Structure 1
Amino acid sequence: MKKLFVAATVLALTACTAPSEPQLTIAPTPVVSTQANAQGKSLSLESRDLRTAQFIAVVDSGRQNVQPLHATQNLRVTLEQALSRQLRSQGYAITQDSQGTMRLDILEAMINVKHSMMSHELNSKLQLQLVIESPTGKFVKRYSGKSERNGAMSASMGDMEEAMNSLITAVLKDIHSDPELNNYMQENL
């Protein structure tokens, strides 16, 4: 019985020290406005991750060796914080008791990586949906982006992080500069 207990303890301790799978750091750069155009407007901000798989990248090294990679932090929380910072810089107050609500839905966020010792190919896709509900109506719009990158040698974690962060930043810029969205928010919140 003692030997079994010692073996179980050793197994538990080695499991705690086993190296974890590599993870990607997703840190997009939101657009920070120099002029706050929405003074006095408030909204509540919510988000949902509607992706079927919660990993952020799939790395195919050939010979049926496919590895999924997750983000170091929750992608939904990261995107909600970036959008919140962007909206605050535009002058919107983010509160829980507002009559207007903006919901960010993550529909797709994926990097497909194919690499070998000599080259790599990164295909990134992102699709977000904004749903704004106010007492006067509802606004729904999707924002998406794709990017493709090729390079020599195998893809690094930094290559994958840069690809997704650049894509998210580009989509956040599209959201910031969308006249249809900005007009609806100015008139209905």
Structure 2
Amino acid sequence: MRFLVLASMLALTACSNPVPSFIVAPQVFWNQSNQLNGVAFSLNVQDNRPSNGTLIMRDGDKVNSYPTSNNLPQQLQDVLTDALSKQGAQVSGAEPVVVTIQINQLEANAELRTVEHIVKNNVELTVLIERESGSFNKSYSGKSSFSGPFKLDTAVAERELRVLTEQVLGNLLRDPSWQEFLRN
């Protein structure tokens, strides 16, 4: 009987498929207002991560790193441009004031074991504002984790990393300090 249980557990872990796609597509729901009305700036998103791996899967000594299937910096740029425009900001590429969002860390680290998996998510973004009168920078980060039995469901990992990314973006957007710097 123990042999059948062990054989079925090994079969389940051996059948794990390579990751066909891993998409991080956060959305931001921010109430429309005019708090950035009349503020004009260029917005750039830079991926400063040491590698483009977003899902890292560790299985013993074997480590596989998978990038997102979508263009993560462009996804964040589109989401932030939309959210900031809804606040009255004029976001274009030709403004002398430059707001850069740096992606310092955005990854799901999965440790795969025979009977379980543990995933730790890390997101760190930095707002950097450059203008003639000075500069501003501030980092925003978040961590989360989850675990489950047997094989990792990459859809769950996608969802959990997306939710954490949305929380960090929400904290960034709600912080009045960088907005005050832009307005003054």
1:174 to 2:171 alignment: yes
Shift of 1:83: 1.5
Q: Within 2, Cα distance between the matches of 1:30 and 1:81? A: 11
Post-superposition CA distance 1:21-48 (Å, at most 9, x none): 5221111012332222222211101121
Identity of counterpart residues, as a percentage? 23
Q: 1:73 aligned to 2:73?
A: no
Does the aligned pair in 1 maintain the 2:54–2:65 contact within 8 Å?
Answer: yes
Secondary structure of 1:108's counterpart equals strand
Match of 1:61 among 59, 64, 77: 59
Matches within 5 A, 1:132-147: 132-147=129-144
RMSD: 1.8
TM-score, normalised relative to structure 2: 0.84
Residue from 40, 43, 63 that aligns with 1:42:
40
1:100 equivalent among 97, 104, 115:
97
Deviations, residues 133-156 of structure 1 (Å, cap 9, x unaligned): 123221111111111112233221
Contact residue 147 and residue 167 of structure 1 kept, 8 A = yes
Name the SS of the counterpart of 2:152 in structure 1. coil
Q: Which runs of 5+ in 1 are unaligned?
A: 1-18
**Aligned residue number for residue 111 of structure 1:** 108
Aligned with 1:28: secondary structure?
A: coil
Aligned residue for 1:126, secondary structure, equals strand
| TM-score (norm: length of structure 1) | 0.81
Q: CA deviation at 1:71?
A: 0.4
Question: Residue 182 of structure 2 aligns with which residue?
Answer: 185
Q: Which residue of 1 aligns with 2:86?
A: 89
Query: In structure 1, the residue corresponding to 2:67 is in which secondary structure?
Result: strand
Amino acid at match of 1:161: E
CA contact (8 A) 2:22 2:158 kept: yes
Q: Could you tell me how far apart the structure 1 residues matched to 2:87 and 2:148 are?
A: 38
